[in-house]
C-alpha cells in the first residue's frame, strides 16, 4: 500500500503474508494521475546541474541555509540563485522560511528518501536492490 507524500511520490510499506515478503502485482506501484504530474515536476526541477548541486549542498549541510550565503557557494548571481530556489520550492523539494528579512532554505523533510523510493525498493529478505518496472 502506498501513502501520499510531500512531493507526490508513494511511500512504500513492506507487505508480508505469514512472514514471507511479497513483491508482486500492486506492491511497487508507480505514481499515476496527479501524483505522476507532481513526480515529473520534481524530477524536472532536479534536471538542472545548479539545482542538483543545491539539493546536494542542503542535504550535506543538514540544516537551513540563508540565501545571502549561497551565491558564493554556487558561483551564481543572486537573481539566478533565487530562480533555482523558487523552482525547487514549487516542486516541493525545498522549503523556505523567513527570519525577519532573511530567507532560509532547507530540504522538505524526507524528500531524499521519497525520491530514492521512486527508483529503488529495498527487498529486505533478499538483501538486494531492484529497479522499479518502467511502463
Q: What is the CATH number of the domain that holds 91?
A: 1.10.10.10
**Quick one: CA torsion of 85, 90, 95, 100, rounded to 10 degrees?**
70
Distance CA 91, CA 18 (A): 39
Give how many domains the chain has, as a whole number: 1
What pLDDT does residue 42 have?
A: 87
pLDDT band at 41 (very low <50, low <70, confident <90, very high): confident
Answer whether 0.75 is exceeded by the pTM.
no
Distance CA 82, CA 103 (A): 10
Average pLDDT over residues 106-120: 80
E strands, the chain, in order: 2-3, 11-12, 16-17, 20-21, 65-66, 94-99, 102-107, 120-123, 128-131
pLDDT band at 10 (very low <50, low <70, confident <90, very high): very low
Cell numbers at 75, concatenated = 558561483
**What DSSP character marks residue 114?**
H
What is the residue whose three cell numbers read 537551513?
A: 64
- Check pLDDT > 50 for residue 92: yes
Average pLDDT over residues 22-39: 62
Q: How far is it between the farthest Cα atoms of the chain?
A: 58
Tens of pLDDT, residues 65-83: 999 988 888 889 999 999 9
Cell numbers at 50, concatenated = 545548479
Amino acid at each position: 500500500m502506498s501513502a501520499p507524500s510531500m512531493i507526490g511520490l508513494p511511500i512504500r510499506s513492506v507487505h508480508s503474508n505469514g512472514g514471507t515478503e511479497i513483491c508482486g502485482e500492486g506492491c511497487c506501484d508507480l505514481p499515476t494521475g496527479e501524483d505522476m504530474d507532481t513526480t515529473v515536476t520534481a524530477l524536472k526541477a532536479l534536471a538542472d546541474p545548479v539545482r542538483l548541486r543545491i539539493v546536494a549542498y542542503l542535504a550535506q549541510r543538514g540544516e537551513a541555509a540563508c540565501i545571502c550565503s549561497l551565491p558564493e557557494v554556487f558561483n551564481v548571481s543572486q537573481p539566478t540563485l533565487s530562480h533555482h530556489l523558487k523552482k525547487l520550492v514549487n516542486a516541493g523539494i525545498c522549503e523556505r522560511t523567513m527570519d525577519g528579512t532573511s530567507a532560509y532554505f532547507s530540504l522538505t523533510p524526507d524528500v531524499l528518501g521519497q525520491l530514492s523510493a521512486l527508483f529503488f525498493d529495498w527487498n529486505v529478505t533478499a538483501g538486494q536492490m531492484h529497479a522499479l518496472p518502467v511502463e
